[in-house]
Every structure is written in C-alpha cells, then in structure tokens.
Amino acid sequence: MTHWLEQFVHWSAGFGLNYNFLLDAYQRGTLGQGALTTVLLCLLTIIGSLLAGVGLAAMLTSGKPWLTRPARVFVEVTRNTPTLVQLYCAFLVLNMLLTEAVGAANPLTPFAWVVIVISLHKGAFHAEALRAGIEAVPTVTLEAASSLAFNNRQLLWNVQLPLALRFALPALINNLIDLVKMTAVASAIAVGDITYAAIMIWTQSDNVLELMILILGFFGLLSFTVNCVGRWLEARLRMPGYGH
Amino acid sequence: MSLERSPVKRLLPVLLGALVSLSTVHLAHADATLDKMEQRHALVVGVLLSGGPFGGIDPATQKPRGFNVDLAQELGRQLGAEVQLVPVLPANRVQFLQQGKVDLLIANMEWTAERGEILGFVPTPFYRVGGTAAVLKDSKISRWEDLKNQPVCTSQGSSYIKPLTELGVEIKAFKSSSESLLALRGNNCVAAVHDATLINPLVAENPEWQGYRALSPELNPAPSVIWTRKGESDTQAKLDPIIQQLHRSGWLIEAQTRNRITPASPALVELQKQFQANGA
Amino acid sequence: MAIDSSVVLPRAWPRRHIGKLLLGVGALCALGYFAQHSPVLKALLQWSPALAAGFGQNILISLLAIGSGSVAGLLVGAMVVSPLRVLRWPARLWVQVFRNAPWLVLIYFTTYVFPFEIRIGSAYVAFPDWVKVTLGLALPASANVAEIFRGAIASIPSTQWEAARSLAFSRGQIFRSIILPQCFKRMLPPWMNLYAVITMGTALASLVGVHDVIDTAQIASNTVNQTGFTVVIYLSLLVLFFAYCYPISRLTQYLERRYAFY
C-alpha cells in the first residue's frame, strides 16, 4: 500500500504535482475518513430521498386536494430554491429555534440535517418523476386489471407502481447522480465529508490543485458507480414492449 | 470517467500549475509591494468583513466599514495610495496574500510562530487579542482543558485551531464566525471559540446571549499585526513608523471608540504609553 | 403553424393571477406598515438595499454563466455530433467530466487554481473572484447545453434525414434548413430549466468569499444579532430565489406543453 503510494507520489511529481500529503498518515487518515463519510452520506440520502419521493408522489397522485396542495407547494418551493439556502435555513435557523424550544435534548447533528435536507430536496425531484410515471400507465391496462378482479391495493402494488417505476427509472437515476454531486455542500456546515477534509488540508498548506483532482476523481467514480447500478437495474427490469 | 488517465486532464494541471507558479515568481521580486504601489498608486488590502465592529458593511451604502477598514484607509492616506479593499475569508486569506491578490492583510489575524515563518509582518502590532469560548452558563466547562474530546465550533483557518487541536478538542470549522455562533446556539457544539473582541460584547450586552458566558483566561493572547508577503522588508519598514505614530497620537484608540469596540483594549493604552515614552 | 393554434394560452390566466398579485401587494403594504413598529422588520428594511445589490450580483453571475456556457456548449455539442472522431472524442470527454463533477468543487477549483490577474503586455487585467465563479458555473453549463443540443438533434425523427437526403440535400443543408430550426424550439425548455438551476447554483459563490446575497445576509445577521432578524433574513433568501426561479419554471412548463407536438 505505502509502496504504491510512494510510487504514485513520485510519478505525479513528474507532472509538477505535489501529492506528498498522501504519505502523511494523519492527513491520509482525514481524507479517508472524509471519503467514508461522503459514501455513507450518499447511501443514507439515496434511501431517504427515495422514501420521501414515494411519499410525495403518493400525495401528489392521491386526488385529494388536502394532500395534493401541500405536496405541490412543497415540491415547487424545494425545486426553485438553492440547496445551500435550504441547508442554512434548516441547520442555522430551524435547528436554533428547535434547541431554544427543547433545550439540550435536540438530538439533530449537522450530519442528520444534511441527510434530511438533501433527502427532502431530491425527494421532490423523485416525486415529479414518479408522478409522471404513474400518470403514464395506460388506463386500459388498469381497466383490464380491475376486470380481472384486482382490488385497489393490488392494482396499485402489482400493476401501477411496477410499471410507473420502469417508466420513471431513467429520471430517477439522473436525480441520484445529481444527489451524489450535491452531497459536497455538506462541507458548508462542517460535516466532515471529503470536500471538508480537503478544505482543512489546503488551508494549512498550498496544494489546492492536487486535492481538487483527487476529489473530482472520487466524485467521478461515485457517480459512475451509481450510473452502472442504474443501467443494470434498467436492463434487469426491462419489459418487452414497454418503456424506454 | 477516468479523470487521471486522459491526456487533456493530465496537461491541464501542469499548465495551470505553471501559470500559477509563474505569476507568484513574477511577484516575488525584492519588495514588489512598494514597487507596485509606486507604479499603480494602489494599495490592495485584504479585510475580513464578517459583520461586527472590526469589519462589516454599511446597509445603506453597501460600503465596507469597521476598524480594519478605517486602518486600511488611514494607511493608504499616509502612503498616498488609493486603497482597494478585497474581502477575504479566514480560510483563504493566507492564499490571497501568497498569490499576490492582496498586498496586505488587516484581517483579525494574530501573530503566531507558524504564520511568522511563511509570511512577513509589520513588527508593531495594532491590537492585541486572544481567543475566548462562549459556553452555556450552566455548562460544566470552566477551564480550557475541559473542552477535551468535546465538539467545538470555530471558523476555518482560525489561529485557535492549532492550540485547540493540541488540547484534544473535536473541531467543527465553519466558513465564518456567523455560522459558528448559530451552530453553538443550535447546540451542535459545547463552545464556540473566536476572538475575545467578538464574544465578550455579545455575552456582556446582547440579551439573547444571556444564557452564555465567556471562558477566561484568554487562549493564546497574541498581537494583531499587518501581514505582508515573506521578505518584503521595505514595506514593513515603511509601515512600522506609521503604526507607531498611530499609537502615539491615539488614533487607534479613537478608532476603537468610533467603531464601538467594547470592552476597550488595555493593550492599546499600554502601547500608546510605550511609544509616547520612546518617541518625541 | 396550424398545429400550434390548438394549444392556446388559457384565457383565464391573467384573471386567476390578479387575486394573487393583489394579495402580494397587500402583504407588502402590511409589511411596510408594521415595519415601523417592529425592530426586526425595520432592520430588514434597512438591509434590503444591500440584499438587493447582493442578489444583483447573483443574477449577473448567472446571466454571464449561462451566456458563455451556451456559446461553449453549442460548440462542444456540434463537436459531439460531428462525424469526425478527432472532434467527437474530446467533446464527449468534456461533457462527461463536467456533467459529473460537483459544482461546488468546480467553483473551488476555478477560484483557487486560476490566477488573480492576467498580464497582457504591460497591462494587468484583474480576474476577480466573481468572474472565476462565473467560469466555474459556465463549465458545467456548457456540458449540459451540449447534452441538450445532442438530445434535441437525436429527437428529430431519422425519417426527416432520409427524406431530405432523397431530395438531394447535403449534410450541411439538412442541418441548417431542416434540423436546426426544429432543434432550437425543442432546446428552449430544457435550456431555461438549466438557467434556473444555474441561478440557484450561484448561491455557492458565497462559500468562496464572493460578496453575494447570502454573504450579505450573513453579515447582516452577524451585525444585528437578533434571533428574530436571523430567521427573517434567511427566510427572505428563500423568498428572493423563489420569486426569481419560480416564474422561469412556470414558463418552462408552459413552453414544454406548447411544443409537445411530437
């Protein structure tokens, strides 16, 4: 491991890049920890955003105005304001008010706030994709199913949702790739993700460029992984004669 | 997708790196700041505008104001140069100075041995300040050592990060003091460590900070100095008598009163006496 | 344009919105009235010119970023669809790299890596931070515009190519007189969507120290130091961005419906 690293540092020095900080155990540890935090953040927000998206989509397509209206307002506000401002509003303002209300019992950490805010933010985008998917299920299919004595519940779980999911999948995967990139804003509220770890290193020493290339490579790898898993899912779920 | 292997990506950093190093090499001639000031009649000063008496903006005119800004303007007036103010963050101020984007830093940056090694500075300080921690009144923390293994909020690039790390504190560093203080009130850390000039007036006067107290003694009290690039001794030699004169004439104490910095620093009075005795 | 006439502007549009407009004006009046009595709103009024100036900076960055990003993006997009591999290959790489990089990291990249001034002859041209942020946003914008362009061209049915070729049009002629005119219409909605996203992306500028609306709000919050004011100023950030981006998104949806005739 260290042997490889030394070789890499030596090799990159040939291009005028100084990767010496990788040989320092403490700084390498910080970066590694940051990378792990980013991966954990991605996993939790992917799950959280999908749950939020399904919930919001259910509200949007429920046909009951008292559910549809608030969901619609939430989706529009979320889609038309910057994530960073949402994060500040939640972490700096809501969290302060919450603490004033309940005192030291407030259990929410910066990490938890990032997971909540990004999940809800991307959930709004998922909801739109899922809604489009649900609405794209042909009515004749639903009629055919109900003539086969499916009840409403079965109709939803066995016919409507599986078809909607297949229709919405490409958009969902795009949203998830966006989500992976979005986790970088966590650094703004001192969550120790890879961007934050890099900032802490480059404020001490002058190696911005090297760290930037490292981070870009790391995020490239992450979104590539999400993309591959997504394409695999799409291929697996493909039904002849339906969807893309 | 593979960023490292493509020829474009491989060349880009080399090119950019070369560009950056060229520009710094070019500016690192024997005292480039004075040369530049004479050529362009401009003095580029980095100031910290985080709100508060040292540096903020005037809501009506959107112009920077505060103690740092007044001092920069006064230096420019005495040197006969037009002052261009560049807002800096604690996280990027050293880089801006090293790159040559700013010529001087008047940015609440205290003298430390590490900074003294990589940067140059005007020997006479214009202020003296240490760090203090805002903590909840009923918290058990009474000494700095009590912060060990506890989450503490501060700003990125702050000079207190190093002593705090040595105490074994878990640091949460934000972009500026504004976020750090809000995070403290959101109970995300047990203490927020900043300059005493920021924390003391808050806990002393602001009714919303009644539930908090400041930790004493001050952490690493150090002189606030004007920073230059390393080796710019001509600039330092030119600025040093000006600062001494500002002490002697009481201009700095006046600026402190004018910007409502409370409590008034005893160090300024001390320095005034010292230079009044030496000078004349 | 006989097809278009079937999708006309809904007549009730202005009438539906008059109520909302009146409500907004009323709310503003009430705000102005109560502002004299509440210290929080008074402080907000006092800081509102500074906030407006800050938001102007955000809008300037977003306009320049989408402008330069579109020009670059169309060039890259043209390269992506070119039949020559030498052109196609680097263009694809460009799109891949800049579509998959987090914007925040790109902004850090351009701010910290690019020089602060450029020397042309004996003159120094300053390269201020907000221009660097604009570049940092223009890079992903160009990659996205290229992708939108490619998608628009791919969405034109291939039968049109075949039909035009059978009428002895050359490749360039087909592009200029058949494909491109249809493309621009299809590109407009996603392009506007991209613009709204870039406007929201300008919020990241505050993290590298550009004096924008968020930076202004934080200075204000730190200067006034009152919980009520902090809540109000952060909420007004949400309102400002929403008021600018929501109309764009509505217009995008309207255009999407209007042009959805294929």
CATH number of the domain encompassing residue A221: 1.10.3720.10
The alpha carbon dihedral of A197, B175, A217, A209 has a sign of negative
Asked whether the predicted pLDDT for residue B246 surpasses 60, the reply is yes
Measure CB to CB from residue B179 to each of A92, A200, A206 and give the nearest one: A92
SS3 (DSSP) at B133 = strand
- Judged by CB atoms closer than 8 Å, whether chains meet at C93 and B6 is answered as yes
Measure CB to CB from residue C209 to each of B16, B89, B179 and give the nearest one: B89
Distance from CA of B235 to the nearest CA of A (A): 24
Question: Closest-CA residue in chain B for C111?
Answer: B92
| Mode of pairing for the β-strands spanning B191-195 and B127-136 | antiparallel
| Cα-based torsion angle of the residue sequence C229, C234, C235, C237 in order, rounded to the nearest 10 degrees | 130
pLDDT recorded at residue B113: 83
pLDDT recorded at residue B100: 83
| Cα-based torsion angle of the residue sequence C49, C54, C60, C66 in order, rounded to the nearest 10 degrees | -130
Global pTM value:
0.84
pLDDT recorded at residue A176: 94
- Judged by CB atoms closer than 8 Å, whether chains meet at B208 and C221 is answered as no
Nearest one of B182, B184, B179 to B152, comparing CA atoms:
B184
**Cβ of residue B23 closer than 8 Å to a chain A Cβ:** no
User: What token pair was written down for C172?
Assistant: 């360039």
Instruction: Spell C53-80 as b/e; 16+ CB within 10 A means b.
Output: bbbebbeebbebbbebbbebbbbbbbbb
Residues 6+ apart with CB under 8 A from A240: none
pLDDT-based confidence at B177, cuts 50/70/90? confident
Asked whether the predicted pLDDT for residue A17 surpasses 90, the reply is no
| Mode of pairing for the β-strands spanning C123-126 and C117-120 | antiparallel
Asked whether the predicted pLDDT for residue B96 surpasses 50, the reply is yes
> Using one digit for the tens of pLDDT, what is the confidence trace for B222-240?
888 999 988 888 888 889 9
Q: What is the mean pLDDT of residues C215-224?
A: 90
Asked whether the predicted pLDDT for residue B10 surpasses 70, the reply is no
- Chain pair A-C, CB pairs under 8 angstroms: 100
pLDDT recorded at residue A62: 83
pLDDT recorded at residue B73: 93
Does residue A158 lie in a domain region? yes
**Cβ of residue B8 closer than 8 Å to a chain C Cβ:** yes
| CB contacts, 8 Å: B206 with chain C | 225
| CB contacts, 8 Å: C49 with chain B | 59-60, 62
Tell me which of A61-65, C52-56, C132-136 is least confident.
A61-65
pLDDT-based confidence at B1, cuts 50/70/90? very low
pLDDT-based confidence at B9, cuts 50/70/90? very low
- Judged by CB atoms closer than 8 Å, whether chains meet at A189 and B179 is answered as yes
Does residue A244 lie in a domain region? no
Q: How far apart are CA C235 and CA A114, in angstroms?
A: 18
| Mode of pairing for the β-strands spanning B191-195 and B151-155 | parallel
Q: How far apart are CA B134 and CA B212, in angstroms?
A: 6
Nearest one of B190, B196, B220 to B115, comparing CA atoms:
B220
Residue A211 CA from chain centroid, whole number: 23
Q: Which helix (H) or strand (E) holds B82?
A: strand B82-88
pLDDT recorded at residue C15: 60
Asked whether the predicted pLDDT for residue A41 surpasses 90, the reply is yes
Q: Which of B 119-178 lie inside 8 A of A, CB atoms?
A: 153, 156-157, 172-175
Nearest one of A127, A118, A242, A130 to A179, comparing CA atoms:
A118
**Cβ of residue C226 closer than 8 Å to a chain B Cβ:** yes
Asked whether the predicted pLDDT for residue B18 surpasses 80, the reply is no
Nearest one of A110, A237, A107 to A169, comparing CA atoms:
A237
Amino acid identity of residue A23, one-letter, is L
Amino acid identity of residue B256, one-letter, is Q
Q: Average per-residue pLDDT in chain C?
A: 86
B48, C28, C210, C262 from C158: Cα distances, Å? 59, 54, 47, 13
DSSP for B193-222, written as a single string: EEEHHHHHHHHHH-GGGTTEEE-SSPEEEE
DSSP for A58-104, written as a single string: HHHTS--HHHHHHHHHHHHHHHTS-HHHHHHIIIIIIHHHHHHHHGG
A23 φ/ψ angles, rounded to the nearest 5 degrees = -80, -20
Distance from CA of A55 to the nearest CA of C (A): 23
**Cβ of residue C98 closer than 8 Å to a chain A Cβ:** no
SS3 (DSSP) at B170 = strand
Does residue A63 lie in a domain region? yes
B244, C118, C144, C216 from B24: Cα distances, Å? 31, 12, 34, 31
> Using one digit for the tens of pLDDT, what is the confidence trace for B179-232?
899 999 888 889 999 988 888 888 888 888 888 999 888 888 888 899 998 888
* Domain around A219: 2-237
> Using one digit for the tens of pLDDT, what is the confidence trace for A47-82?
999 999 999 998 998 888 999 999 999 999 999 999
Q: How far apart are CA A231 and CA B17, in angstroms?
A: 38
pLDDT recorded at residue C259: 77
DSSP symbol at B264? P
DSSP symbol at B190? S
pLDDT recorded at residue A208: 80
ipTM of model = 0.86
**Cβ of residue B280 closer than 8 Å to a chain A Cβ:** no
Q: How far apart are CA C100 and CA A223, in angstroms?
A: 7
Measure CB to CB from residue C222 to each of B9, B26, B178 and give the nearest one: B178
Q: What is the mean pLDDT of residues C242-246?
A: 94
Does residue A243 lie in a domain region? no
**Cβ of residue B10 closer than 8 Å to a chain C Cβ:** no
pLDDT recorded at residue C216: 92
Q: How far apart are CA C196 and CA C190, in angstroms?
A: 10
DSSP for A146-192, written as a single string: HHTT--HHHIIIIIIHHHHHHHHHHHHHHHHHHHHHHGGGGGGGT--
pLDDT recorded at residue B232: 86
**Cβ of residue C237 closer than 8 Å to a chain A Cβ:** yes
pLDDT recorded at residue C4: 43
Asked whether the predicted pLDDT for residue B176 surpasses 90, the reply is no
- Judged by CB atoms closer than 8 Å, whether chains meet at C227 and A96 is answered as yes
Q: Average per-residue pLDDT in chain B?
A: 83
Share of chain B above pLDDT 70, in %: 89
Domain count for chain A: 1
User: Which residue would you say has higher pLDDT here, C111 or A2?
Assistant: C111
Does residue A19 lie in a domain region? yes
> Using one digit for the tens of pLDDT, what is the confidence trace for A93-137?
999 898 888 877 778 889 999 999 999 999 999 999 999 888 888
